A and B are shown apart, each in its own frame.
Chain A
Amino acid sequence: MTQLPSADGPAGSPAASVALAVTGLSVAYGNVVAVHDATFTVTEGDACAITGPNGNGKSSILMGVTGMLRRRGQVAIFGAPAKNGDVKWAARHGLTLVPERRQLYPDLTTEDNIILGCYTWTRSIGKARRSDAYGRAIELFPELKPHLKQVAGTLSGGQQQMVAIARGLAANPKILAVDEPCLGLAEAVAKRVYDVLAQIHAAGTTLIVVEEAPRRALTLCNRRVEVRNGIAVDSRGDAVPPGDTPDPDGPYPPRNAA
């Protein structure tokens, strides 16, 4: 196995602190166990990919870690043990989710969708409008400028994804967890989404990206957690080169193949 040089950023440097530590995480829907005993850490400044086939529990890991779903096991955000099922706590401590299928508020304007990200840390709309986090979130997406007063439900899929990311940024996260950001998007739009994620990462935000297509994720990420049948395998260290995956171009073969 080839070791890639860890030239990009603080990842791998021993001084960097642990942003997210997950120990023995299990998530279940009723009797169906989606994630079984996952243990991994994400270092501050990392861009960590969580990859694996569809329906193997990638998203459930993020749902459990952020508190959207109740979980078993421990999650620590910058050393502080996270409360189970408390999304607000996680957001206040720097971990924000950009969920799968975006979960916007379709009848609210683009601007309102984005500014609601600030609800994690303030109740004052004035403070939210003047904040750096909101300003940066708007700045990052010049293509949204003409649509700020338009209701979000009428935006294109790519624009909606950008609104979802902007809302995540308005929460002023230290760790941004992005779930399947390119689902259903055209290649050119997907590339733009990844460019933006790279910019966010370069500005110092730790990234966690759930992605079915490993090659795309690994253009950005310096390390990766592989999920198979609800069991997470931490790659520990630098990026796994795309050659290691069964089909680097995208979707994995079906679970029962071969």
Chain B
Amino acid sequence: MKFGNLIIAGITTGSIYAMFAVCVAVWYRVSNILNLAVGDFAMVGALGVDNLYRVKGLPLPAAIITTLAVVAVFAYLYDQVVLRIAQDGRRPIEGIVVTFFFTFALSFFIDGVAKVLFGTDVHAAPTLWSGPSLTLGSLNFERSGLLVLACALIIGGAFWLYIKFTLGGKALEASGENSVGARIVGIDTRQYRRLIFVGTAVIAAVFGIVESPITGFTYLSGATISLTGFIAAAYGGFRKPGRALVAGLSIGVLEALLGGYVSAEYGDTVLYAILAAAILAWPRALGFESAVSG
């Protein structure tokens, strides 16, 4: 059952990509800013919990809650100070390239602080659900992987329910679709920008914590995570969380299959070649033109 196990592994990593891609896409919809720092919040989640638990000796639940709280407060302050000055003033700074640098700089800042606080070694948050992997027939389920999947399902599902079945969720969509139209019905688009920025920072941190036992993190891991999230989000023109989700899962599965059947060393190379070829073949259908023009 090599194929089945590869699919399971692919869905696990794919769900991680998908969650980061959704975080990028949802926030881009409401703010028109690409969040390059999303992976850094994941890194802070993982290394922060590791540091508080292993080095400072806090109990695990306290370490997790403290880390998430710090991430949330930091994201809130960043929105209140930097984004507020940049976007809510008399002459708001707009354009995908310029606003890119807000979060680019943020990413470097977080990396720098993390290097000082956590050092340069590979660490990981402690495994939350340890034990031998579960088997079903010839299929293997890593416990950490199942935990990642469960988090993805719960968080993704909660978000989907929020969008589909609440007026607040529809208002969130509306402020992404048309900010003028949103203001007309009294939607505070800044409030949603803030809510989603803080929300996605915390979600990223949660994923950092549950994912790190599988991959291990250094202070530089954030950029790689952001990049995979970016690539998947790009397949929805950065504006379609649903497509970003599908793209993230597909990339994960494709990566696992290529690694298993084609070549462990060149799997990634082939993967990116396929992704690039797909963009060249169907730029419009994959949403790349809208990403560039709007």
Q: A108 to B173, Cβ gap below 8 A?
A: yes
Q: A108 to B174, Cβ gap below 8 A?
A: yes
Q: How far is the CA of A68 from the CA of B182 in the complex (A)?
A: 11
- B289 interfacial by beta-carbon distance below 8 Å: no
* Number of B positions contacting A (CB below 8 A): 19
Taking CB as reference atom, which chain A residue is nearest B91? A30
Contacts of A104 in B (CB 8 A): 178, 181
Q: How far is the CA of A122 from the CA of B177 in the complex (A)?
A: 20
Q: How far is the CA of A105 from the CA of B181 in the complex (A)?
A: 7
Q: A123 to B173, Cβ gap below 8 A?
A: no
The stretch among A35-43, A111-119, A206-214 that forms the contact with chain B is A111-119
Selected from A68, A102, A105, A120, the residue in CB contact (under 8 A) with B174 is: A105
- A9 interfacial by beta-carbon distance below 8 Å: no
- A106 interfacial by beta-carbon distance below 8 Å: yes
Contacts of A117 in B (CB 8 A): 185
- B180 interfacial by beta-carbon distance below 8 Å: yes
- A197 interfacial by beta-carbon distance below 8 Å: no
- B266 interfacial by beta-carbon distance below 8 Å: no
Selected from A68, A105, A123, A167, the residue in CB contact (under 8 A) with B167 is: A123
- B112 interfacial by beta-carbon distance below 8 Å: no
Selected from B168, B177, B178, B186, the residue in CB contact (under 8 A) with A87 is: B186
Contacts of B181 in A (CB 8 A): 99, 102-105
Whether A92 touches B165, Cβ cut-off 8 Å, given contacts A103-B178, A104-B181, A105-B174, is no
Q: B165 to A125, Cβ gap below 8 A?
A: yes
Taking CB as reference atom, which chain B residue is nearest A167? B185
Q: A99 to B184, Cβ gap below 8 A?
A: yes
- B138 interfacial by beta-carbon distance below 8 Å: no
Q: A103 to B170, Cβ gap below 8 A?
A: no
Q: How far is the CA of A4 from the CA of B174 in the complex (A)?
A: 44
User: B90 to chain A: closest CB distance in Å?
Assistant: 9
Contacts of A123 in B (CB 8 A): 167-168
Selected from A91, A106, A108, A125, the residue in CB contact (under 8 A) with B185 is: A91
- B187 interfacial by beta-carbon distance below 8 Å: yes
- CB contact list, B135-189 vs A, under 8 A: 165-168, 170-171, 173-174, 177-178, 180-188
Q: A103 to B186, Cβ gap below 8 A?
A: no
Q: How far is the CA of A123 from the CA of B166 in the complex (A)?
A: 8
Taking CB as reference atom, which chain B residue is nearest A66? B184
Q: A116 to B180, Cβ gap below 8 A?
A: no
Selected from A88, A108, A124, A128, the residue in CB contact (under 8 A) with B186 is: A88
Centre residue among B170, B182, B185, B186 by max chain A CB count within 10 A:
B185
Q: A106 to B178, Cβ gap below 8 A?
A: yes
Q: How far is the CA of A88 from the CA of B186 in the complex (A)?
A: 4
Whether A171 touches B167, Cβ cut-off 8 Å, given contacts A107-B177, A108-B174, is no
Q: B167 to A118, Cβ gap below 8 A?
A: yes
- CB contact list, B46-81 vs A, under 8 A: none
Contacts of A97 in B (CB 8 A): 184
* Interface size range of chain A in the complex: 20 to 34
Q: How far is the CA of A115 from the CA of B166 in the complex (A)?
A: 11
Contacts of A68 in B (CB 8 A): 180, 183-184
- CB contact list, B179-208 vs A, under 8 A: 180-188
User: A247 to chain B: closest CB distance in Å?
Assistant: 32
Whether A171 touches B185, Cβ cut-off 8 Å, given contacts A104-B178, A105-B177, A106-B177, is yes
Q: A105 to B173, Cβ gap below 8 A?
A: yes
Q: How far is the CA of A125 from the CA of B170 in the complex (A)?
A: 9
Q: How far is the CA of A104 from the CA of B173 in the complex (A)?
A: 12
User: A164 to chain B: closest CB distance in Å?
Assistant: 9
Contact with A along B213-246 (1 / 0, CB 8 A): 0000000000000000000000000000000000
Q: How far is the CA of A66 from the CA of B188 in the complex (A)?
A: 15
User: A241 to chain B: closest CB distance in Å?
Assistant: 33
User: B189 to chain A: closest CB distance in Å?
Assistant: 11
Q: A124 to B185, Cβ gap below 8 A?
A: no
Q: B184 to A87, Cβ gap below 8 A?
A: yes
- CB contact list, A67-120 vs B, under 8 A: 68, 87-88, 91-92, 96-97, 99, 102-108, 112, 115-120
User: B236 to chain A: closest CB distance in Å?
Assistant: 12
Contacts of B166 in A (CB 8 A): 125
Other A-B pairs, 6, CB within 8 Å; known A68-B183, A105-B177, A116-B185: A87-B186, A96-B184, A97-B184, A112-B174, A115-B167, A119-B185
The interface of chain B, by Cβ under 8 A from chain A, is 165-168, 170-171, 173-174, 177-178, 180-188
Can you name 29 A-B pairs with beta carbons within 8 Å?
Answer: A68-B183, A88-B186, A88-B188, A91-B186, A92-B186, A99-B184, A102-B181, A103-B180, A104-B181, A105-B174, A105-B177, A105-B178, A105-B181, A106-B177, A106-B178, A107-B177, A108-B170, A108-B173, A108-B177, A115-B167, A116-B170, A116-B171, A116-B185, A119-B171, A120-B186, A123-B167, A125-B167, A128-B167, A167-B185
